A and B are shown apart, each in its own frame.
Chain A
């Protein structure tokens, strides 16, 4: 989008973008520069509020996975997974390993679909100087076609197991409505083997993109599980020493509501901004990747940790390799269980769930009554957790590029925002660019 209303008086400058393109949802950016100092950076979410947490009150526990999926059309599986885990936590239900693996498989599908959408269609055009993937396709049809086919492989997993790509219908508390047969996965396996190779090529390609120097001292927060790369379960760890159970989330994290945004700003109590998403997962869980994903990362220009947010595109590609690799393992070892338990025993209590959405940790908390009706609900999406870090990054990028023309600063700011693959639909409870130079 063009910078608009860049007004220059002697010493004041405003840069604003009224609608940031190639992000999911509606947000804006406002930057104010006074006497060569950045005085204000506001990453504003004007997506209208939909009041999900309030609308969940009085609904049945069984409706929560489908209702909360409607918070986001890009990552509905994440909402379904956090919801079922929180509710099962309240009811004291533990699912068996087969259900657990099918849930990870469904998540692999969403990670592939969402990461590849972001890599090829939303993020890569920035590095190569195109307005969008369709223009990119004119010059590089093979690359864009590879991206589309890879994205489709992820969607195929979600469709086979979930029923459809967007708002899948097969997830329920306790398991799935319909358990797939081994044959259902038949055609998928070959596609995923192709996809795994395409993901490796994608990682190498992203590693060849031009990256600005930008390594910052972030506090990364992600789930961690000793035996697996985190998706649906684990403890919450940070790169600066946090190590808590999911049920302790509210003791350590809080949200504030500022006038400028329909998203709530999350922060770590007494510490401030933190960073969630693929880079946080990668930095805290490198050892849990499959050998192929590790090898791909190290040969694509990143080390065992990555602190340059622009290189998140490489990390997404590495996670895509992992997701393809892991999905193949799950399918190859799948044997349908006899029957998943149909009867859910409800009980009153509070349940906590936190899973790794493509964009980072997604926290759900439900208080339920005896009959399983929702008394209250709390949902903290990844984008509202990253909002403070995004503003910090924006401040740094503007400060280092004060002498650039507005159009270029604007472009750089947009790119900073897209580094986070922000999902604004989720965060609303979340963006326009506006740089004000005074």
Chain B
């Protein structure tokens, strides 16, 4: 039987911790099966072999924080049919977007003795601020089952099943009693997108929003509830400003509590 040529997959990295691309290598049971279906054409973290583009699927990790990267992402887009961003850095700017609320010129000398050697932009921005993105996969880090779901959906030409409702739905499904109601534990679950399996509440911890804002959120009502539990405006600013600080819903809510 004649073998059809496999779709080519590329993995690109911008400012990030490498965790989301590692998710692909963490698919220990599925990795070799994935390589039966797609050809890993560019993945420097895993291989020194490079197959030239264009690529059918590009996974993009990381945020844009340098002029060099702001230019490179256009080349990546140009070389990619289906461009999918993976993780909070690529979809919302990541933890490094905390700089967006400050003056980066004051931050650099806190870390580097010779700030003049450092080239960096004022803001850390998501990929979609720079180029058209075909699909955004959320999470800090992404859920590897969702990654496999999106790749296989692409291969079969169907829509991926990655719900945009809140973590609360997953808690209900897990049968986890509401931490806020039952224990008075502050939780970002009501405004945070599902996908992690409502992990933190399973471990007796309030959600800290690492999957970013859900599709529809009422952050204001949640903030009132946090205040009723004794949290201060400063606590709220910090809570909304973590791994998805620059995502619109979280950014706007944090701004309202900043004095």
Contacts and interface: CB of A to CB of B under 8 A. Distances in A.
B25 interface: yes
B107 A66 contact: no
Contacts of B94: 50, 70
B95 A50 contact: yes
Contacts of A74: 18-19, 22
21 contacts: A23-B45, A24-B18, A24-B22, A26-B44, A49-B65, A52-B95, A55-B98, A70-B17, A70-B243, A131-B49, A134-B47, A148-B31, A151-B28, A155-B26, A164-B141, A166-B26, A167-B19, A255-B113, A257-B117, A425-B18, A429-B111
A53 B111 contact: yes
Interface stretch (A56-64, A238-246, A323-331): A56-64
A133 B46 contact: yes
Nearest to A177: B205
A84 to B, nearest CB: 15
B47 A22 contact: yes
Interface in B1-56: 13-23, 25-26, 28-29, 31-32, 35, 40, 43-50
A76 B141 CA distance: 11
Interface string A414-430: 10000000010100010
Interface string A148-185: 11011001000000011111011010000110000000
B149 interface: no
Nearest to A132: B47
Interface string A123-156: 0000000011111010001001100110110010
B120 A48 contact: yes
A1 B18 contact: no
Nearest to B16: A425
B91 to A, nearest CB: 15
Interface stretch (B127-135, B194-202, B222-230, B246-254): B194-202
Interface residues of B, number: 61
A21 interface: yes
Contact of B48 (A1, A24, A66, A76): A1
A25 B204 contact: no
Q: Contact residue range for chain A? A: 35 or more
Given A166-B26, A376-B110, A55 B95 contact: yes
Interface centre among A21, A51, A151, A414 (most CB of B within 10 A): A51
Given A49-B108, A135-B49, A151-B28, A164 B196 contact: yes
A113 B107 CA distance: 34
Contacts of A121: 25, 46
Given A19-B44, A170-B205, A425-B17, A132 B49 contact: yes
Contacts of A257: 112-114, 117
B118 interface: yes
A373 to B, nearest CB: 9
A404 interface: no
Interface in A1-43: 1-2, 19-26
Given A19-B44, A25-B18, A134-B35, A54 B114 contact: no
A371 B210 CA distance: 25
A273 interface: no
A379 to B, nearest CB: 9
